[in-house]
Structure 1
Amino acid sequence: MTFWSRLMADKIAVLCMAVILLFIVAGIFAPMIAPHDPLKMNVLQKYSGISQTYPLGTDQLGRCVLSRLLFGIRTTIFYAMITTFITIAIGTLLGVMAGFFRGKVDEFIMRICDIMLSFPAEVMILAIVGVLGPGLLNVVIANIIAKWAWYTRMIRSVVIQYTDKNYIRFAKVSGCKTSHIMRKHVLPGVSGEVAVFSTLDTGWVILNISALSFLGLGIQAPTPEWGMMLNEAKNVMITHPTQMLAPGFAILIIVASFNFLGDSLQSALNPKIFQKKGRKLNVFTRNKKLISE
């Protein structure tokens, strides 16, 4: 079975991809889907319940919760994906250089990574945002600075495994250019691991962006963002607890989807893990049939 056939055979992976794609499409077409302007206030309609006019009710300023939730996809998920992409690009570039060239290049890059990894990521993010000030751009910069070293070290270890393969050694001996070897052999081999890392880490970045907005260090009002919506809902958590449900469940669903998809990608890339999962599923199915009989 090929990678795609193994991935498509995993029902959880298909479901997670469908959920992520649904969120992305909803975010892209938010201006057309949203029933109201997410910034439009109507104090007379504050804390309205679910209705045909307001499918998820309104908040403390009478703004449509569904509209803010849809536009919040752009600031929460899209910026998390951009952050992950930039971090992955930096980590892949430096990781491939360190793992392929070794020697002084590897030593120099790894010592910088050691310095960066000596600080806890969450503490570093809070420190950077505290210095630069609150704002979405500063949150993105802080996440990139905090995570690039981790990606560099992980990708370096994967590259070292591939550079010891016989076909890459043969390519070096046969006189192939370094750029050709890296482009045709090393990067394709590393791409699967990079996909797993990026998928798993996107959920972590979403949580970080939402958490910083919740603390008042990320997105600033009145811009719609899920963490900011939770920040505003916490003030009325006792009197109007339903205000936290929409953004809370949205964060839960999208983060869980990225995490489960990352696990499924890892299984699809490793046929041995996929076969073990298949055997466990078959045993479970047979036991279920025996019990029903």
Structure 2
Amino acid sequence: MTFWSRLIADKMAVISMSIILLFIIAGAFAPILAPHDPLKMNIAQKFAGMSWTYPLGTDQLGRCVLSRLLFGIRTTIFYAMITTFITLGIATTLGIIAGFFRGKVDEFIMRICDVMLSFPSEVMILAIVGVLGPGLLNVVIANIIAHWAWYTRMIRSAVIQYTDKNYIRFSKVSGCNTNHIMRKHLLPGVSGEVAVFSTLDTGWVILSISALSFLGLGVQAPTPEWGMMLNEAKNVMITMPTQMLAPGIAILIIVSAFNFLGDSMQSALNPKLFQKKKGVKWNVFIRNKKPVSN
């Protein structure tokens, strides 16, 4: 079975991909799906309950919660995916260079990674945002700086394993240039690991963006964002606790979907782990077991 066939055979992977795709489509078509302007205030309708006009009610300023939730996908999920894409792009490039060339190049890149990894990522993100100031762009920059070193080291380890393969050695002996080997052989070889990292890290970045917005360091009002919605809802947590349900459940669902998808992709990359997960070994043992003759 190929990687994709093993992945599709996993029901949890299919469910997770369906949820992620549904959120992405909802965010892309938010202007069409949203029943109201997410920034439009109507104080007379503040804290309105669920109705046909306001399917998820309104917040403390009379804004439609569903509309803000849909537009918040663009801020929370889309920027998290952009952050992950840039981070892994940098890490993959440096990891392949370090793992392929070895020597002084590898030593130089790894020592920079060691310096970066000596700082706790959460503390570094808070420090960078504190220096640059609040804002979504600064949160993205902080997450990229805090995470690229860890992924560079992981991808470099995978590249070192692939450089010992016979087809890589044959490519070197046959006179293929370095760019061709890295693009056509090493990059496809580590693409599975990169895909797993991307799904797992996207969920983490979503939590990071939401947490910083909740603390007032990320997205600023009145931009619709799930962490900001939780920040505004905490002020009325005692009197109107339901205000925290919509953004909180949305974060829970999408982060869980990315994490479950990452676990499923990791299993699909390893056939032995996939068989163990699906119980194939036990089924084969039962079919092949012969009755003992008296």
TM-score of the aligned structures, taking structure 2 as reference length: 0.95
The 1-side partners of 2:109 and 2:122 are apart by 22
- SS of the counterpart of 2:26? helix
Q: Does 1:108 align with 2:108?
A: yes
Give structure 1 stretches of 5+ with no counterpart: 287-293
Structure 2 vs 1, CA of residues 244 and 280 (structure 1 numbering), >3 Å: closer, same or farther? farther
The 1-side partners of 2:163 and 2:89 are apart by 20
Equivalent residue for 1:248? 248
Give how far 1:282 is off.
7.2
The 2-side partners of 1:280 and 1:187 are apart by 31
Written as runs of structure 1 = structure 2, the 5 A alignment for 1:74-93 is 74-93=74-93
Give how far 1:175 is off.
1.4
Contact 2:275/2:281 (8 A) holds in 1: no
- SS of the counterpart of 2:279? helix
Structure 2 vs 1, CA of residues 235 and 282 (structure 1 numbering), >3 Å: closer, same or farther? farther
Equivalent residue for 1:224? 224
The 2-side partners of 1:280 and 1:186 are apart by 31
Give structure 2 stretches of 5+ with no counterpart: 287-294
The 2-side partners of 1:97 and 1:80 are apart by 26
Query: CA deviation digits over 1:193-246, x for unaligned, max 9?
Result: 000001100000000000000000000000000000000000111100000000
Query: CA deviation digits over 1:132-173, x for unaligned, max 9?
Result: 000000000000000010111010000000001111112112
The 2-side partners of 1:281 and 1:263 are apart by 20
The 2-side partners of 1:61 and 1:161 are apart by 57
- SS of the counterpart of 2:212? helix
The 2-side partners of 1:190 and 1:61 are apart by 49
Give how far 1:281 is off.
10
Query: CA deviation digits over 1:83-121, x for unaligned, max 9?
Result: 000000000000000000000000000000000000000
Amino acid at match of 2:65: V
Q: Does 1:95 align with 2:95?
A: yes
The 1-side partners of 2:191 and 2:221 are apart by 38
Written as runs of structure 1 = structure 2, the 5 A alignment for 1:34-53 is 34-53=34-53
Amino acid at match of 1:269: L
- SS of the counterpart of 1:4? helix
Q: Does 1:33 align with 2:33?
A: yes
The 2-side partners of 1:9 and 1:220 are apart by 42
The 2-side partners of 1:281 and 1:210 are apart by 42
Q: CA RMSD in A?
A: 1.2
Amino acid at match of 2:128: I
Equivalent residue for 2:125? 125
- SS of the counterpart of 2:236? coil
Equivalent residue for 2:3? 3
- SS of the counterpart of 1:235? helix
Equivalent residue for 1:290? none
Identity among equivalent pairs (%): 84
The 2-side partners of 1:192 and 1:275 are apart by 18
Give how far 1:178 is off.
0.9
- SS of the counterpart of 1:53? coil
Q: Which runs of 4+ in 1 moved over 2 A?
A: 280-283
The 2-side partners of 1:5 and 1:15 are apart by 15
